[in-house]
Structure 1
Amino acid sequence: MRKVIIIPARYGSTRFPGKPLVLLWDKPLIQWVYERALESGLKEIYVATDDKRIFDTVVNFGGKAIITGEHPSGTDRVAEAANILGFSEEDLIINLQGDQPLFPAEYFHKLVQPLLLDPQIPMATLATPIKNKADLANPHKVKVVLDQRGRALYFSRSLIPYFRPPGKEPVYLKHVGVYAYRKEFLDEFVKLPQGDLERAEKLEQLRALEHGYSIAVSLVPEDIPEVDTPEDLEYIKFLTREP
């Protein structure tokens, strides 16, 4: 069983065009993400893109990249790349978003651990306790609720669970948008039709739940900032500034 990281990257982001190639200090954003992946200790790391500018940038800094076709989602792009590269059904494919330049190396191992422990689990992801009260009402901060085994019951842009006093308010969990799949399931997942819940919430992971598949969720202590807008990039610069 091989463990592989594939980073989907596209140039035409609606809110931040050209995002993978914008400079974060002296390096393009995609290089920061790639170098974080290297810190995991995994040897097989690829950027999957349909843009030659991104491909050339990755190759020029010494990374590995692969050209795919155009796709409606990063998951579809990762699935095509995994097939082009010839990975086996039992291999584990990590889908690391190309806008997470501060992804901690230890989170990779938390992510894949459920798949290593239980061969019946087809995919896994991460979640973290919400510490910023403003995130509770923010639809861009996706929430998740779990069962007693740490499997996802539901993901939502709304606040879940609903708290009805009296009693102790629950710990709300934010979904961290990174995934690990068994290659066999990834091929199946991208063929599944969208369900009503996925269409309503615009959350791709709900497709797995709607079709009866389990998603293991490991808890991590801290959230991971993402770069969705130019303002997010400035915040990352603030976090990574030299003292």
Structure 2
Amino acid sequence: MKFIGIIPARYASSRFPGKPLAVLGGKYVIQRVYETVSQVLGEAYVATDDERIYNAVIGFGGKAVMTRTDHKSGTDRIEEAVEKLGTDADVIVNVQGDEPFIQRSQIETVCRCFDDADTQIATIGKPFEDMEAVENPNSPKIVLDNRGYAMYFSRSVIPFVRGVEREKWLKNYPFLKHLGLYAYRKEVLGEVTKLPQSSLEKAESLEQLRWLQNGYKIKVGITDFETVGIDTPEDLERAEQFLKEMK
């Protein structure tokens, strides 16, 4: 089975314009993501709508493809990139361009989900460590079936643990946090990008609910590593400190 990594990267951002080209530890944020993805998968491209990002990627020796500016989601941008590249890869791995600390093991975990022939889409989850994090609506929760497929994603705390004090819920159920790493069989990617927004997606503002509501099977791999995204200049400062501590 052949895998290819596509990294969507936009210059425009309301909270941090130009963040893919922010410098972290002497390298662009997008460069750190690209280097990890290309090392694991062998082939990777940055899909961008901005020539500054495109030129920067080519400049550090990476591969990039220009896409339209009007995409509503990173998934749509990836589908256009796949069409332009004409790749013969079986699975497309979508890694966010603002996560410079993506782990090799996380990418490998999402790829191994396709050892199961029923997997159409794959993603990863991480066990929550405290109830405060579980109750954060910015951290979507995943409920799994017995085969490791997603039954539902929600910003609310699900499931409800009946008859147990709330502070003890985590000891009674393994709440799982969704991390935004995805992979799709190539033909499935083409299908899901043609689907209209679903009622559940609109309600929760979670794109993956569109796929579930239309009957697609999403396999969930488990990781013990947290992702560290760069959404604001303050995040970049924290990431710089995190990088120093790692070294």
**With structure 1 as the length reference, what TM-score do the two structures score?**
0.94
Q: Which amino acid letter does the alignment assign opposite residue 147 of structure 1?
A: D
1:26 matched to 2:26? The reply is: yes
1:241 matched to 2:239? The reply is: no
C-alpha distance in structure 2 between counterparts of 1:53 and 1:196, whole Å: 37
1:92 is aligned to 91
Q: Which amino acid letter does the alignment assign opposite residue 93 of structure 1?
A: I
Query: Do 2:5 and 2:38's aligned partners in 1 also have CA atoms closer than 8 Å?
Result: no
Q: Which amino acid letter does the alignment assign opposite residue 104 of structure 1?
A: Q
1:201 is aligned to 204
Q: Post-superposition shift, 1:222? A: 1.9
Q: Post-superposition shift, 1:133? A: 3.4
C-alpha distance in structure 1 between counterparts of 2:172 and 2:14, whole Å: 37
Query: Do 2:142 and 2:177's aligned partners in 1 also have CA atoms closer than 8 Å?
Result: yes
- CA deviation map 1:10-64 (0-9, x unaligned): 0111221111011112111101111121331x22100000100000000000000
Query: Do 1:87 and 1:183's aligned partners in 2 also have CA atoms closer than 8 Å?
Result: no
Query: Do 2:103 and 2:225's aligned partners in 1 also have CA atoms closer than 8 Å?
Result: no
2:135 is aligned to 137
Report which of the two has the higher share of helix: 2
C-alpha distance in structure 1 between counterparts of 2:42 and 2:216, whole Å: 29
- CA deviation map 1:61-82 (0-9, x unaligned): 0000000112111100001101
Q: Which amino acid letter does the alignment assign opposite residue 63 of structure 1?
A: G
Matches within 5 A, 1:1-243: 1-40=1-40, 42-70=41-69, 71-88=71-88, 91-115=90-114, 117-166=115-164, 169-241=172-244
Count of residue pairs brought into register by the alignment: 240
- CA deviation map 1:96-153 (0-9, x unaligned): 00011011112111101121x2223211000000114332221111111101000001
Query: Do 1:20 and 1:98's aligned partners in 2 also have CA atoms closer than 8 Å?
Result: yes
Secondary structure at 1:241's aligned position in 2? helix
Question: Which runs of no fewer than 5 residues in structure 2 stay unpaired?
Answer: none
What percentage of residue pairs aligned between the two structures are identical? 48
Q: Which runs of structure 1 show a deviation greater than 4 angstroms over 4 or more consecutive aligned residues?
A: none
Secondary structure at 1:5's aligned position in 2? strand
C-alpha distance in structure 1 between counterparts of 2:237 and 2:56, whole Å: 22
C-alpha distance in structure 2 between counterparts of 1:232 and 1:164, whole Å: 37
Secondary structure at 2:172's aligned position in 1? coil
